[in-house]
Amino acid sequence: MNLFKFFSFSFHAHNERRQADAALCGRSMVEMLGVLAIIGVLSVGAISGYSKAMMKYKLNKQAEAMNLLLNNAMQLRPPMPDEGNAFYSELLSKLNLLPDGIRLWTDKKFLIDSFGNTIWFFAGTKLYGIGYHFDNDGSNRLAICSNLLNVYKENHASLYQIISDTYFGNTTDDITIDYYGTYYGDGYCSGNAKCITDITLTDIETLCQSCNQDSNACRLYVTWK
């Protein structure tokens, strides 16, 4: 092989290697982008699954806390007022009857749960009760409302009423209240009165439908005598 042929052969061989290396680099880039795309999809799915799992965990913890709060409150018999309502949230705190995840608000009248919603333990002229006001945005209201109703349904034998309502207006004179249903405990659900123990998923959706809107001031009451 003369010198010209040697260099010609070397040039062609080197050029073929460069083309082969370029093809390999091209395939590696495409493969890398494909892997990144797969990782991205899996990451989105993992984040979504984690968020759902965390929400379920928080709802389970809230159900435990609200069930304990309800039963602790039902053990107390603070004085009933002659008219209006008296508030006893601070009494629960002083007696160390507040479950984990529920704390006394700074005004001593209300409690706050893990979702940032307002709770109050009150006594009327003829009954006791716990009110729940949905202060957070509407993204989780329906799930929280359904969670509470399932807790109250478990205590149907000890309760008087469950009531859901919304109110509109800023002053006492212009407030409008819309009621979305009333259900009664075992000792009070005769005749046309609906029983708490018979509440269905459809009933829960009806009671909670107003709570799925940001603009509505939604409240849920559970009472006993």
Per-residue pLDDT of the chain (225 residues; tens, 9 = 90+): 554 444 344 445 445 555 555 444 455 776 777 667 677 666 666 666 777 888 899 999 999 999 999 999 999 999 999 999 999 999 999 999 999 999 999 989 999 999 999 999 999 999 999 999 988 666 788 899 999 999 999 999 999 999 998 877 665 555 677 778 899 999 999 888 999 999 999 998 888 876 766 556 789 999 999
Count of structural domains, the chain: 1
Structural domain boundaries enclosing 99 = 59-224
* Residue entry with tokens 């018999």: 77
What is the distance between the alpha carbons of residues 213 and 172, in angstroms, rounded to a whole number? 22
Q: How far is CA 133 from CA 59, 145, 165, 196, in A?
A: 16, 10, 10, 20
What is the distance between the alpha carbons of residues 213 and 175, in angstroms, rounded to a whole number? 18
- Whether residue 194 is contained in a domain is answered as yes
- Whether residue 31 is contained in a domain is answered as no
Report the pLDDT value the prediction gives residue 170, as an integer from 0 to 100: 61
- Whether residue 45 is contained in a domain is answered as no
- Whether residue 27 is contained in a domain is answered as no
Under DSSP, the state recorded for 173 is T
Q: How far is CA 43 from CA 25, 31, 47, 53, 207, in A?
A: 27, 18, 6, 15, 36
- Whether residue 116 is contained in a domain is answered as yes
- Whether residue 11 is contained in a domain is answered as no
For the chain, how big is the Rg over CA atoms in Å? 31
* Residue entry with tokens 């004085």: 79
- Whether residue 163 is contained in a domain is answered as yes
Contact (CB, 8 A) for 156 and 224: no
* Residue entry with tokens 């819309």: 178
- Whether residue 208 is contained in a domain is answered as yes
What is the distance between the alpha carbons of residues 134 and 168, in angstroms, rounded to a whole number? 14
What is the distance between the alpha carbons of residues 101 and 68, in angstroms, rounded to a whole number? 11
The helix (run of H) or strand (run of E) holding residue 119 is: strand 118-123
